[in-house]
Structure 1
Amino acid sequence: MPSLDPFFTEWAERRPGQTRSLGRASALLAALGLDADRTPVLGVVGSKGKGSTATTAAAALSAAGLRTVLVTGPSFRSYRERVRVDGTSVDDAVLDALGARIDAARRDLPTVEESGGYLAPSGLFLVAGLLRAREAGADVCVLEAGMGGRRDELRLAGPEVVALGKVFAEHVGVLGADVVEIAREKTLVAGERTRALVRLPQTPEVAAEIDAALADATGGRVGAEVVDPEAEGTEPPPALRPPGLSAASGVLGTAAAARMLEHLGIPGPDRRTLHGVLATVRLPGRLSRHTVPLPAGRAPGGEAPDAEVVVDSAIDRVGVAAALAHARGLWGGVDHVLLCLPDHKDVSGAVEVLGGLPVTAVRLPEAHLRFEHALPPHWGRMDAADLTAAALAALGRRVLALGTVYFTGRVLEAVDAPTDRLFG
């Protein structure tokens, strides 16, 4: 188990009113020599689907023969997963060494009080990815933003190419008052080094704001390029896209990778090679399907059949409906749904979509999350600490687990899902 103190110390010790400091993060990058000497960056922002976009982009770049470092978050089962080389998580020793280098540089900075804020964990994992890329001689970094925008450390990394996913009203009141303001904030991750921004189709209001913000961020040098998953001939073909709502993310990641290759002057892979690598992409917690062994003797008259769980990080009405349709398409029906949505997610929408299905609501222990929304009286209740393979198996042979990534990671842990390798 790696030491995580270097990544979480300042966040854990933050005082009321303190916020993350991009100035402090910029000083850390300079201390590590990453302000000038760093690997080319493809940055991924958006309201949902960033991890799927980033993973697909990294896979497409690997198909062209590039050595890639991928930084995503949150992790599924281990913080090692936040930094990957060619799709595979770094090991404990590598993460320890990265943390030690970051911590040594951090200790030479002015204090948190002098800096006016702390170093955020998500930003420090991004720094770790840039360090690992330099050490490993990587050709390109694919970095997933946290919330994204000018207040995200990704902006400091100066992405040459930006992939912007669908923007909707996530983080209202944090990134902006409405979806238009949020779109502007996320677009402003672009800057001086940016040479291309590839985005998914947006509403007219959001598209106009993205164009205006991009012009401001790049001095009018860069115009947004739109990739439409519905357009005929768009890569990759539907059979090689991630399932459900993540399909559009697969298209965006592939297109952004193509633009990065153009920027680097490197030929793209032929279709056969590209499709071969994309066929290996696995996205845990994105409509991923896993076996849950049932206790012996569960089925009468012989060997117990396997239970299965489909795990998806759906957080709103649309996502829950898509996941439910996907599970019914696989199984013909669903025996039970596990749902974990804090109050700031679309709990009402999920309740409406799930209707009269058997549902158990799961509560996470994190103090900053609230689970006080009124739920149907017939729903079951469960604490996340009680989530085990046996508990899943007891719910039925066809279980759909939906909710925030902090929850889906626990489900993946319970079924011992493979999460260290995402492609290749």
Structure 2
Amino acid sequence: MVAVVFFREWQDRVPGESRSLARARDLANELGLLDVDLPLIVVVGSKGKGTCATYASATLAAAGLRVCTVTSPGLRGDRDRIRLNGRSVSESELASLAERLDKAIGVLPPRSDGYLAPTGLFTLAGVLHARTEGADALVLEAGMGGRGDEVSLFSPATVAITPIFGEHLGKLGDTPAEIATEKSGVIKPSTRAVVSAAQTPDVAEALDRAYDGIEYAPSTGLGDDLLPAGLGRANAEVGCAAALALLGERPAALEAMLRTVRLPGRLSWHRIPGAQVLADCAINRAGVAVALETARERWGGIDHAFVCLPDHKDLDGAIAELGDLPVTFVRLPFERLSFEHPLPPAWKVLDAVDLTPGLIAGQGRHVVALGTVYFISAVLNAINADTERLFVL
């Protein structure tokens, strides 16, 4: 029932059909969500949005607020997309939300201008959950876009922007600057603050045209021990800064709260019988380099790497960084993804469905898993990683 509701119209789409923001607006109106009056942070960007949203949510929770957070995709499953105070919704809560969405969809006219996108439906379900549970604040991570994303149906008090680069060229724009313009469409006249990671000059110029007074590369004064390692640190700080801008003051419990944050799949460490695993959603050369360096600093060496990068990611950069490491390349079972790029002849190849703890541990004591968020989700599922709570009150 749950999967059917959220993915039905997307699965039934016809060639050339696109998501319908107008249909999503009609659904939100039917559910009474367009007038939800909660302090809202919207997170947009090309990479690191989940980290940013998590740290923004933890900062708000440190102030004593009950925070509903929507991220995409889930770490291990769809329950992880919607959280209250860092905890995933339960199966019964998600089923109830799906039932209420399904009933409202049934009232809408037959679709004629596009389908309801899964990420958009989870966004609406999250807002519905926030209202049902009496949440004090909302943090919504945009899907791929900004102006064309369902988060744009709402008016954020604060917008957080992670680095914007050439991800989704040809879909959101033909240049990073055009992509930035599209993503900045979530900024509304009522938005009081916009906080951004450092951007390239062309992207910053596009963002500045959308909002005067953006704070770039904010410095919160938080120590390195309170923020994640690697490339995620800047995104975490953007999230904290966006939440502090909304709150207007620093919560006394902030440091204690941030010490509890866990980010599975973002330079996260896991133990399984016979091996230790470092899992990271690295999709380009820089990310792979940081992950490998982090692993070597802790272990001294790496026995094996599992890698999953479809053709539109920076596989050449990953190959260069991995060098002569033993590698198993993993393919995902999604028709929309192509895995035709030539691989080094020494690399093994397998399908994600074949991942098991025994297979992973069989490659050595120290193993890294690098690639898309969907691949890392498969790894987290295979090793039964705990993704129930991202921070603890």
Q: TM-score, normalised by structure 1?
A: 0.91
| Greater Cα radius of gyration, structure 1 or 2 | 1
Report the equivalent of 2:270. Answer: 290
Task: Confirm whether residue 404 of structure 1 aligns to residue 372 of structure 2.
Answer: yes
Pairing 1:249–2:235 present: yes
Q: Which whole-Å CA distance do the structure 1 matches of 2:385 and 2:36 have between them? A: 37
Q: Does 1:132 align with 2:129?
A: yes
Task: Report if the CA contact (8 A) 1:292-1:389 is conserved.
Answer: yes
For the pair 1:385 / 2:353, whether they are aligned, the reply is yes
- Kindly indicate whether the alpha-carbon contact (under 8 Å) linking 1:38 and 1:130 is maintained by their aligned counterparts in 2: no
**d(CA) in 1 for partners of 2:272 and 2:110?**
49
| Whole-angstrom CA distance in 1 between matches of 2:29 and 2:82 | 20
Q: Percent identity?
A: 52
Identify unmatched segments of 5+ residues in structure 2.
none
Query: Which whole-Å CA distance do the structure 1 matches of 2:58 and 2:250 have between them?
Result: 12
Note if contact 2:195-2:218 (Cα within 8 Å) is conserved in structure 1. Answer: no
Counterpart-to-counterpart distance in 2, 1:228 and 1:377: 44
Q: What is the CA–CA distance in structure 1 between the aligned matches of 2:37 and 2:309, rounded to whole Å?
A: 38
Residue equivalent to 1:269: 251
User: Do 1:291 and 1:309's aligned partners in 2 also have CA atoms closer than 8 Å?
Assistant: yes
Aligned counterpart, 2:289: 321
| CA deviation map 1:205-228 (0-9, x unaligned) | 2111101023xxxxxxx5212234
1:201 equivalenced with 2:194 (yes/no): no
Q: Give 1:203 shift.
A: 1.7
Amino acid in the other structure paired with 2:276: E
Of 103, 121, 144 in structure 2, the residue corresponding to residue 147 of structure 1 is 144
**What pairs with 1:180-191 in structure 2 (closer than 5 Å)?**
180-191=177-188
What count of residue pairs does the alignment treat as equivalent?
392
Contact 2:146 2:152 in 1 (8 A): yes
Match of 1:174 among 171, 174, 191: 171
> 1: CA distance between counterparts of 2:138 and 2:40?
5
Q: Distance in 2 between matches of 1:404 and 1:352?
A: 18
Tell whether 2:54 aligns with 1:55.
yes
State how far apart, in whole Å, the 1-side matches of 2:286 and 2:327 are: 18
SS of corresponding position for 2:270 = strand
Which deviations, in whole Å up to 9, do the C-alpha atoms of 1:260-308 show, x marking residues without a partner?
113xxxx4312xx1110000000000010001103xxxxxxxxxxxx10
CA distance in structure 2 between the aligned counterparts of 1:162 and 1:73, rounded to whole angstroms: 17
Q: Contact 1:227–1:255 at 8 Å: present in 2 too? A: no
Unpaired runs of at least 5, structure 1: 215-221, 295-306
Deviations 1:354-410 (A, max 9, x none): 111111101111111110001110111111111000000111000010000111011
The AA in structure 2 aligned to 1:54 is A
Alignment of 1:226 onto 2:216: yes
Q: How do 1:2-13 and structure 2 match up within 5 A?
A: 3-13=2-12
Partner of 1:418: 386
Q: 1:236·1:254 contact (CA, 8 Å) conserved in 2?
A: no
CA contact (8 A) 2:283 2:372 kept: yes
Q: In the alignment, what sits opposite 2:222?
A: 236
Determine if the alignment matches structure 1 residue 375 to structure 2 residue 328: no
Aligned equivalent of 1:76: 75
In the aligned structure 1, how far is the partner of 2:267 from the partner of 2:197? 21
The 8 Å contact of residues 235 and 254 in structure 1, kept in 2 or not, is answered as no
Return the offset for 1:40: 2.4
- What CA deviation, in whole Å up to 9, does each residue of 1:292-328 have, x standing for no partner? 103xxxxxxxxxxxx1010000000110001111111
Work out the CA distance in 1 between the residues paired with 2:169 and 2:301: 35
Say which is worse superposed, 59-68 or 75-84, in terms of deviation. Answer: 75-84
What residue identity is the alignment partner of 1:332?
A: G
Secondary structure, in 3 states, of the residue corresponding to 1:4? helix
RMSD between aligned alpha carbons?
A: 1.1
| 1:165 paired residue number | 162
Contact 2:369–2:376 (8 Å) recurs in 1: yes
* Residues in 1 aligned to 2:134 and 2:328: alpha-carbon distance in whole angstroms: 47
TM-score (norm 2): 0.98
**Paired letter, 1:209:** A
Given that residues 38 and 134 in structure 1 are in contact (C-alpha distance below 8 angstroms), is that contact kept between their aligned partners in structure 2? no
Q: Distance in 1 between matches of 2:227 and 2:96?
A: 36
Secondary structure class of the residue paired with 1:244: coil
SS in 1 for 2:97: helix
Segment drifting more, 31-40 vs 66-75: 31-40
Task: Tell me which residue corresponds to 2:305.
Answer: 337
The answer (yes or no) to whether the contact 1:40–1:140 under 8 Å persists in 2 is yes
